[in-house]
Amino acid sequence: MPDPESDAIDDISDWEAEEGLPQLSDPFLQQWLSGREALIEEEQMKRSDNAFRQSLTPLAVEACAIVSRVLAEERRTTWTERLQHDVAETEGIDMYPGMIFHLARDTMEKTKSWEIIKHMPKGALLHAHADATMNVAFLIKQALATEGMAISSDYPLTDASARARASVLFRFRKSFDHPGPSIWTADYKSNTFVPLREAAAAFPNGGFDGFKTWVTSICTINAEDSLKHYHGVDMIWQKFASCFQPLDALQSYEPILRASIRHLLEDLIQDGIRWVDFRCIFGSSKFFKEGKEDASPHSMDLLQVWSEEIHSFQESEDGKGFWGCRFIWTTLRSWSRKQVLEHMKSCIEMKLEFPDLICGFDCVGYENAGRSLADLTPELFWFKKRCVENGVDIPFFFHAGECIGDGDEADQNLFDAILLGTRRIGHGFSLYRHPLLIDMVKSKRILVECCPISNEILRLTSSIKAHSLPALLSRGVPCCLSNDDPGVLGYESSGVTHDFWQALQGWENLGLEGLGSLAENGVRWACYEDQSSKEWGKDIADGKYGQGIRAIRMRQWTEDWNKFCEWIVENYAIQYGGSDI
């Protein structure tokens, strides 16, 4: 509310007095302003994070106020400069909070607010595709350091154009034919494996460093790709899909995968993440045991590696306090009916073999191009029937509404996801357009897993400021923040701090309080154990006041949150405590 003291009667100019201009200190305007504030407060009470805000301790309230002051200072300093970027079509840009991720990343990681959010306990990561969460730079480093690794291409990689469109694979080989033609020359024989280290050393543009840059470019979406919104969603999805073959090939060999899983889990816990519900398309790409040139015939070997590495990490000093991981088994929407059914059979088989590892089922892939949930309904009902016959319960956690359409087939996946009993909705970007579905999501306590940076880079929104999440929060929809595919999207880390930081910068109504609520939701809706629909619903409703694992972990997260707020006050109160700046 404006301060009436700033407009004291002594400061009224002659022309204002002559015109009879009302002053903010006038009683009738003060009454009007009070009504305005009451209206804003009444609307705030309808937000999904209102209960969390009301439960804050005095220390947490002060910590949130300090962060608001830090943001206010950064808006006056950091975000008013013009900055040059080495990106096509951007000679110079105005800096502003909530600007496009790839242009803001270098600047954001130098701010005080970044330091604060990096320390924040994020709790649980609920929407992350396991293969696309791996750090690409680490994968390349491990591949180059692993004895016997090889590279092949479907045609010679003679120039930049060929290297951009080629189908590249990385595999282990016991021996090689020497000497063989270089993969970078025209006499290279297609699909022939050559030693990886030798190929990297001979890379035409910069040797090892140039090779690493090139492999990174075919496994990730770079700044130039993400900025070209005028090319539309279809084109960026083509680029996105093309990243997975080389990316999955890099992590297809057991020694590299084991090291990468360990590196991933270390990165996550350092980012304040204690639990992950990964999504993974087991069996969609080949996996090779150590020293083997032939692919493993079954997904069991891959799951066994994940299971062993997760448990090993939890037992280590680095993994102290890490709650663990489970997997939502995912099937591609683009697959045929027979492929889907065979994959569903494998899911049930692996659930029986690894009951504590498999926790759900989902259909993934570009919604506008793949089969809709309505089209997949026969397979999904068949799957549920087979689950009952095998004595297992594998709930749905569907991707839905990851689209910009309104009423098209992809948008209508939201209807089917809810009707099919999904416990969470992946992305739900278009949900804000559906008032009836919003009411259903709230009444059924379905969480929306929001991935704002992913939605921006894949061209559903121009920036964080245009994202639909604030509309969902204001309507009382429970949501959490996730990072989706940080490896492919160019985060250069596996954590979720970038999404938390962008949300804090982009939406003035959120604040640290809102971020805390989103993190708590992640812990609340995580899939820690198998539960019936009734048990799940009661557990979600009871929250931290329940009796099970969920309640215990919500209380643990609350302890982490309060310690974090205490850390903020201890480190920033001298400069940012007290009155507003």
Residue ranges of domains in the chain: 122-134+242-528, 138-219
Q: Which residues are 361's β-sheet partners?
A: 329, 396
Q: What are phi and psi of 67, to 5 degrees?
A: -60, -40
Q: For 246-274, what is the HEC assignment?
A: HHHHHCCEHHHHHHHHHHHHHHHHHCCEE
pLDDT at 13: 80
Q: Which residue is it, tokens 């492929």?
A: 339
Residue pLDDT tens, the chain, 581 long: 445 444 444 467 888 778 888 888 888 888 989 999 999 899 889 999 999 999 999 999 999 999 999 999 998 888 876 554 544 444 456 778 888 888 888 888 999 999 999 999 999 999 999 999 999 999 999 999 999 999 999 999 999 999 999 999 999 999 887 767 899 999 999 999 999 999 999 999 999 999 999 999 999 998 888 777 777 888 899 999 999 999 999 999 999 999 999 999 999 999 999 999 999 999 888 999 999 999 998 889 999 999 999 999 999 999 999 999 999 999 999 999 999 999 999 999 999 999 999 999 999 999 999 899 999 999 999 999 999 999 999 999 999 999 999 999 999 999 999 999 999 999 999 999 999 999 999 999 999 999 999 999 999 998 899 999 999 999 999 999 999 999 999 998 999 999 999 999 999 899 999 999 999 999 999 999 999 999 999 999 999 999 999 999 999 999 999 999 999 999 999 999 875 43
In angstroms, rounded to a whole number, what is the distance separating the alpha carbons of residues 237 and 244?
11
Q: Distances in Å between the alpha carbon of 338 and those of 269, 296, 335, 345, 379?
A: 39, 21, 8, 11, 9
pLDDT at 180: 77
Say which residues have a Cβ less than 8 Å from residue 298's Cβ, sequence separation at least 6. Answer: none
Take residue 577 and report the two structure tokens written for it. 């405590």
pLDDT at 579: 53
Tally the C-alpha atoms within 13 A of residue 153's C-alpha that lie toward its C-beta.
Answer: 23
> Which spans in 152-253 are helix H?
160-165, 196-201, 207-219, 223-227, 232-242, 244-250
In angstroms, rounded to a whole number, what is the distance separating the alpha carbons of residues 6 and 10?
10
Report the SS3 class of residue 9. helix
In angstroms, rounded to a whole number, what is the distance separating the alpha carbons of residues 62 and 206?
52
Residue 278, judged by CB atoms within 10 A of its CB (0-12, 13-18, 19+), counts as buried
CB neighbours of residue 186 within 10 Å = 11
pLDDT at 581: 39
- Homologous superfamily of 122-134+242-528: Metal-dependent hydrolases (3.20.20.140)
Report the SS3 class of residue 95. coil
Q: Distances in Å between the alpha carbon of 431 and those of 44, 237, 440, 477, 509?
A: 20, 21, 11, 10, 20
